[in-house]
Structure 1
Amino acid sequence: MDIYNFAKDLIVEAGQFIEKRMLESFHVDSKSNPDDLVTDVDRETEQFLSQRISEQYPTHRIIGEEGQGHDVHDNKGVLWIIDPIDGTLNFVHQSENFAISIGIFIDGQPYCGLIYDCMKADLYHAKYKEGAFLNNVPLEKAKEVPLSRSLIAMNPKRFLNERIRTPFFSIMSKSRSVRSYGSAALEFTMLARGQISALLFFRLHPWDYAGGVILTNELGYKTSNVFGQDLPLFGTTSVIAGNPLIHQELLAYFENDKDLKSLHDETHNL
């Protein structure tokens, strides 16, 4: 079995593991702030995935949100970037609207991306230059829709900082409307399905976007940070993803914003 098909089977198994584990009690902790939650299920799911990958492919390396591979700083060989539960707040409060996200890279180049919507049992997957799918159904290519006719996903709470809020507030006012779904991975799947035209974040980690970027790029969507630069495999960054037309529109809101550039450099240390 090749890596792609192994990963498809594995992510579904991990989703089934989560479903069973949800029936039992679990502990909830906070990490960087009281709203940044982590549970026993996050950690156990990451361990489940890591163990299975290591058994099948001992030379592969893994970076996971909950601590796996945080000492990895180069992209040599096969690298799995994993978020065991993207949308932990939703997992805790709603018992739905969360996903497992996996991006696999070989020597820094995209190989495949997978996002599993656990409670809907929907698997989004793409192998580089071979198209993108929802379960076994091909997804449609990106359609060029302008900001003025678009529903976009962003987290308004992030943009209350006075140093950065002006361009984000301008984008919100120019768009048709804004939504915040609480899971970057699921927002990438909504982009892939054409349910939103763009998503915009000021701070994400690679495990938040690795799978989604590969998925949506296969469909002709564009991804970058807010200054049009490629997204890194390590550290944190801002993220814009959208159809080619809206992607260019959004970049124009940030290109001359010196305050945002200064805070971006301070926050992400890129």
Structure 2
Amino acid sequence: MDIDMREELFHQAKTWVKEAGEIIRNRIKDPLTIDTKSDAKDLVTQMDRAIEYFFVKRIKEAYPSHQLLSEEGYGDDVTTLDGTVWIIDPIDGTMNFVQQKRNFAISVGVFHDGIGEIGLIYNVIDDVLYTAQRNNGAFKNDQKLPTLNEQVSLDKSVLGLNHFWLCENRLVDEKVMQKLVKKVRGARAYGSAALEFAFVAEGTLEGYLAMGLAPWDVAAGMVIVNEVGGVTSNIDGISLNLLQKDTVLTCHPAVHQKIITEYIQKGRK
């Protein structure tokens, strides 16, 4: 993708994200229609669907040749990342949106021929926008984020984790995960993968570990974390395939491999 086109898409995406955020804030107290998807904990609301449709309509009108991979079914049947693909989660952290009315985000990633070109994560209620363009750094509300190049040890790290590591079909032995939790300075669960990626990028988390995320959960965050020198892979250290669900580990570069080799690989089932 040439620089001029990327710049155009970035400013257009930023405008749309801000507009979508305003819609959500204006309607945050409206009664919700809440449905479930895969199980009772996997929620979707009419707001998720409305915001996704908002993006689909604008993208298809402005860029009809672009593909759109999204969570709620309004996008395309994407089987390849060839060309330009928008990967969108209209509300990442729907349970937080429903229960707390905060701690959720709009996540928009733009990829071209499989390369992450643009990432935007918008913490709607706090009005905090994380952005990145490939090879142009990452920003928090237009303030450039520093590169993650300082030395960090695992015992002084804070990790984002979720309870799924303790569920029945866990991929890593829970005793090993308990050792990891005891080793680090602290563990947190925010309930929004997009926000946890953003927190890794800004350095308030040293890492985020999730058992199974979809492409729309991680696409924008990968671009942003990459721009500050962070590392994102699955739990085996392999690059993520953005056409399928996968385990995810995004980290400060100083602790990424250590978590894999000293904990995950030893506890792998």
TM-score normalised by the chain length of structure 1: 0.92
Contact 1:144 1:246 in 2 (8 A): no
Describe the superposition over 1:177-217 as per-residue Cα deviations: whole angstroms up to 9, x where unpaired: 11100001111111111111100011000100100010011
- Aligned position for 1:135: 141
**Is the partner of 2:160 in helix, strand or coil?**
strand
Rounded Cα–Cα distance in structure 2 between residues aligned with 1:3 and 1:16:
20
Rounded Cα–Cα distance in structure 2 between residues aligned with 1:202 and 1:46:
25
Structure 2 letter corresponding to 1:135: N
Identical amino acids, percent of aligned pairs: 40
1:255 to 238, 241, 265: 265
- Aligned position for 2:233: 224
Is the counterpart of residue 42 in structure 1 residue 48 in structure 2? yes
Structure 2 letter corresponding to 1:23: K
Structure 2 CA distance for partners of 1:242 and 1:26, relative to 1, 3 Å: same
Structure 1: gaps spanning 5 or more residues: 260-270
Q: CA deviation at 1:159?
A: 2.5
Q: How does 1:82-231 map to 2 (within 5 A)?
A: 82-142=88-148, 143-161=150-168, 164=172, 165-231=174-240
**Is the partner of 1:254 in helix, strand or coil?**
helix
- Aligned position for 2:250: 241
- Aligned position for 2:79: 73
Structure 2 letter corresponding to 1:119: I
Q: How many aligned positions are there? A: 259
Rounded Cα–Cα distance in structure 1 between residues aligned with 2:109 and 2:164:
27
Rounded Cα–Cα distance in structure 2 between residues aligned with 1:44 and 1:105:
23
Describe the superposition over 1:21-71 as per-residue Cα deviations: whole angstroms up to 9, x where unpaired: 223222011111111111000000000011011111111110111113352
Contact 2:215 2:242 in 1 (8 A): yes
Describe the superposition over 1:127-186 as per-residue Cα deviations: whole angstroms up to 9, x where unpaired: 001000011110111133121111110102432336632332221121111110000111
Rounded Cα–Cα distance in structure 2 between residues aligned with 1:96 and 1:258:
35
Rounded Cα–Cα distance in structure 1 between residues aligned with 2:34 and 2:204:
32
Q: CA RMSD in A?
A: 1.4
Rounded Cα–Cα distance in structure 1 between residues aligned with 2:13 and 2:74:
17
Q: CA deviation at 1:245?
A: 1.3
Rounded Cα–Cα distance in structure 1 between residues aligned with 2:60 and 2:250:
32
- Aligned position for 2:3: none
Describe the superposition over 1:236-264 as per-residue Cα deviations: whole angstroms up to 9, x where unpaired: 101111111110111112235451xxxxx
- Aligned position for 1:263: none
Contact 1:144 1:244 in 2 (8 A): no
Rounded Cα–Cα distance in structure 2 between residues aligned with 1:172 and 1:228:
20
Structure 1 letter corresponding to 2:182: S
Rounded Cα–Cα distance in structure 2 between residues aligned with 1:221 and 1:133:
14
Is the counterpart of residue 10 in structure 1 residue 16 in structure 2? yes
Higher mean C-alpha displacement, 38-47 vs 67-76:
67-76
